C-alpha cells in the first residue's frame, strides 16, 4: 500500500506545471520544457494553447541568453519579467525549464522559490510538502515531528 502511494505521488514532467499552479494561487498558467525546448507539460488542458505558451517560454529564455551572453557571469538560471498586468517567471536546470505567467502583485521571491522547488522535485529531490487544512489532517500526537509536517512553505530538497 505504501509503495503504491509513493509511486502515485512521484512528480512527473507532465504534472510539474500543474503542481506549480497548485502551490501558488498567483500562477495563471505554467509550462515545462525539456532540454531541447519541447513542451513536456502544461497547466492548461488545451494542447494548442499550451504549445503556443511553450513556444513563447522557449523564446523568452533565448532572448535572455542573447541579452546576457556578453556578461562576465554564468548564464542566468532564473528570470523575472514584470509587465503591465502581470509577470512572467522562469527557472531552469540543465534538463528542464519551467515558466509561469503570474498575476499582478505576485511575490517574486515566493514565485522563484516555488519554481525552483518544483524543478528540484522533478530532478529527484524530496517531495514538496504542503500544509493541509485541519479537516484533512489525520489525528496524531502533538509531537515536533508531526508539527513539522504542517509547514506552510514548500521545502527545497538537497540544496
Q: CB neighbours of 25 closer than 8 A, spacing ≥ 6? A: none
Q: Which of residues 19-38 bind other proteins (CB under 8 A)?
A: 28-29
**Residue 65 contacts residue 97 (beta carbons within 8 Å):** no
**Residue 41 contacts residue 64 (beta carbons within 8 Å):** no
Q: Is 86 in the site for other proteins (CB under 8 A)?
A: yes
Q: Is 72 in the site for other proteins (CB under 8 A)?
A: no
Measured CA to CA, the distance from residue 13 to residue 19 in angstroms comes to 10
Q: Which of residues 112-151 bind other proteins (CB under 8 A)?
A: 112
Q: Is 59 in the site for other proteins (CB under 8 A)?
A: yes
**Residue 42 contacts residue 50 (beta carbons within 8 Å):** yes
Number of alpha carbons in the 13 Å side-chain half-sphere of residue 35: 4
CB 6 → other proteins: shortest distance, Å?
30
Q: Is 74 in the site for other proteins (CB under 8 A)?
A: yes
| Contact set with other proteins (CB under 8 A) | 28-29, 44, 46, 49, 52-53, 56-57, 59-60, 63-64, 66-68, 71, 73-74, 76-88, 99, 101, 104-105, 108, 112
Amino acid at each position: 500500500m505504501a509503495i503504491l502511494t509513493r509511486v502515485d505521488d512521484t512528480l512527473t514532467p507532465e504534472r510539474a506545471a500543474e503542481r506549480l499552479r497548485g502551490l501558488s494561487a498567483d500562477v495563471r498558467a505554467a509550462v515545462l520544457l525539456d532540454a531541447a525546448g519541447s513542451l513536456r507539460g502544461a497547466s492548461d488542458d488545451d494542447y494548442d494553447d499550451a504549445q503556443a505558451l511553450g513556444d513563447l517560454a522557449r523564446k523568452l529564455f533565448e532572448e535572455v541568453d542573447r541579452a546576457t551572453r556578453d556578461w562576465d557571469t554564468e548564464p542566468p538560471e532564473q528570470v523575472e519579467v514584470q509587465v503591465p498586468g502581470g509577470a512572467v517567471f522562469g527557472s531552469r536546470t540543465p534538463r528542464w525549464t519551467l515558466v509561469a505567467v503570474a498575476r499582478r502583485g505576485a511575490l517574486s521571491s515566493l514565485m522563484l522559490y516555488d519554481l525552483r522547488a518544483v524543478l528540484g522535485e522533478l530532478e529527484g529531490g524530496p517531495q514538496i510538502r504542503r500544509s493541509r487544512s485541519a479537516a484533512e489532517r489525520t489525528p496524531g500526537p502533538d509531537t515536533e515531528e508531526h508539527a513539522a509536517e504542517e509547514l506552510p512553505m514548500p521545502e527545497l530538497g538537497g540544496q
